[in-house]
Amino acid sequence: MKPIYRGILCFSALLSAQSLIAAEPPRLIFEAPDSLAPLAARLSEVNPHRFRSAMQLTGVDHPGLPIRVILARETSTLARRAPPWASGFAVSQADTIVIMPERVHAYPYHSLEAVLVHEVAHILIARSARGRPVPRWFDEGLAMVAAHTWGLEDRARLVWAMVAGRPISFDELDRLFKMDGADAQRAYVLAAALVRYILRNSGQSTPREILALLAKGVPFDEAFTQVTSLTLAEVETAFWAHQTMWSRWVPVATSSAMLWLAITLLALYAFRRRQKHALAVRRRWEEEDLEP
């Protein structure tokens, strides 16, 4: 590629990124019963930059229609429609999000604010793709990256997923999201790790470029290859090989006492931190006369 042409492309990409950063985020309309009104007020104050980052990641450059955000009690009809491990869900066609605050402390969410950004990201992904089908692992992985900082608990869960389970295909990963409990949590951590791997190796603009092609009617596998110059099968193989490479310190005898002790300590530490956070939130709710 000639230097002048390369410079034009870089300048164009820079202008595009700057316009996304400056974009106005979608307007959020909150609905909540009186008992959850203080939480709705708290969510209304989430830093708009978090939504702009999600817009940049997904390639949405305008706010679009307002997004309705419903906070639902555990006993509500909406909460009963969702899997018991789900803290929220998005209905992209209706520009609506439902959040169950009493479930927030289950992985992968670290806070009520993270749930909100995660679900808004789902609607942004659907808007960017203009409603075209997006694989569940890509959709959830992107939403995780948009709302979630990769921390100690994620690393511990990824180590466990590597050691306790075999490499799985993208199709199998999609099916894990339909399971309950540990299987669903494994799906979330693997999807997040996979999207982070793709961003690291193919660039931060990869998701929005793929979604832009989907919006034009290009099937996902073709769009993925056009943007990354790799097939899904090649990335799947490379991802699992990479995980094996960095974890090669694990002895062949994976039942080694030291290995399981290290994993257990990591998991216990992460669980303890989450427990303390949940207790602090519950105390704050009690102070605000909320009965979680």
Bigger pLDDT: 9 or 181?
181
Residue 145 host element (H or E): helix 136-147
**Banded pLDDT at 265 (limits 50, 70, 90):** low
Phi (first) and psi of residue 134, to 5 degrees? -125, 130
Quick check: 260 pLDDT over 70? no
Rounded Cα–Cα distance for residues 125 and 138 (Å): 10
**pLDDT band for position 279 (cuts 50, 70, 90):** low
Q: Name the pLDDT band for 188 (thresholds 50, 70, 90).
A: very high
The architecture (CATH level 2) of 23-128 comes to 3-Layer(aba) Sandwich (3.40)
Per-residue pLDDT at 287 exceeds 50: yes
Query: How much is the mean pLDDT over the chain?
Result: 83
Phi, psi of 219 (to 5 degrees): -60, 155
Q: For the chain, what is the total number of helices (H) and then of strands (E)?
A: 13, 4
Per-residue pLDDT at 228: 97
pLDDT at position 154 is: 80
User: Of the given ranges (35-49, 69-83, 151-165, 276-290), which has the lowest mean pLDDT?
Assistant: 276-290
- Cα–Cα distance measured from residue 89 to residue 112, given in angstroms and rounded to the nearest whole number: 13
- Report which of residues 262 and 41 the model is more confident about: 41
Residue 282 in this model has a pLDDT that exceeds 70? no
Q: pLDDT of 69-110, one tens digit each?
A: 999 999 999 999 998 889 999 999 999 999 999 988 777 777
- pLDDT for res 139: 98
**pLDDT value at position 2?**
44
CA dist 86 and 106 (Å) reads 8
Using an 8 Å Cβ cutoff, are 114 and 43 in contact?
no
Mean pLDDT of 231-249: 79
- Each residue's pLDDT tens digit, 113-129: 999 999 999 999 999 99
| % of the chain beyond a pLDDT of 90 | 58
CA angle 198, 201, 205 (to 5 degrees): 70
Q: How confident is the model at residue 280 (pLDDT cuts 50, 70, 90)?
A: low
Summarised one tens digit per residue, pLDDT across range 208-231 is: 999 999 999 999 999 999 999 999
Q: Is pLDDT of 56 > 80?
A: yes
The helix or strand, by DSSP H or E, that contains position 79, with its residue range, turns out to be helix 77-81
Which of these, 50, 239, 215, 51, lies nearest to 137 by C-alpha position?
Answer: 239
Rg value, the chain, Cα: 20
Question: CA 92, CA 47: separation in Å to the nearest integer?
Answer: 22
- Give the β-pairing of 28-31 and 96-99: unpaired
Give pLDDT, residue 110.
Answer: 77
Angle at 52 (CA atoms; ends 122, 50), nearest 5 degrees: 80
Q: How far is CA 209 from the centre of its chain?
A: 18
Report which of 95, 99, 135 is spatially closest to residue 114, judged by C-alpha positions.
99
Is the per-residue pLDDT at 247 higher than 60? Answer: no
What is the per-residue pLDDT across 5-33, written as a single tens digit (0 to 9) for each?
Answer: 334 444 444 444 454 456 799 999 999 99
